[in-house]
Amino acid sequence: MRTYHEPIAVLFDERPAQFIWRGRLLLVKEVQALSREASPWWRRAEQSETDLLREREVWRVEAGNGRLGRGVYELARTVGEEDWVLQAVAD
């Protein structure tokens, strides 16, 4: 997987339904996994103590838009927030 940390817009209703990455609209076809992880250790210097206690959700989804076919993407956000980022894309 290639790693990224790029902000994205996500339409979310209990699960990601679609997202925009680099100007392309991608429709979520399948949710493959959902995991939670602790706040990234490498960002701790710029975070407050409260932020360090917050978890991140990572959604692994299969998505596509017809023209580009399908791919596997990891979408992440702070639990309860709308700070979505594209975390990784499968090669």
pLDDT score of 59 more than 90: yes
Q: What's the CA gap between 58 and 21, in Å, rounded? A: 16
* Pairing verdict, β 2-7 and 70-78: unpaired
Q: How confident is the model at residue 69 (pLDDT cuts 50, 70, 90)?
A: confident
For 82, half-sphere exposure in the C-beta direction (CA atoms, 13 angstrom radius) is 6
Q: Give the predicted TM-score (pTM) of the model.
A: 0.82
Give the residue-averaged pLDDT of 9-20: 96
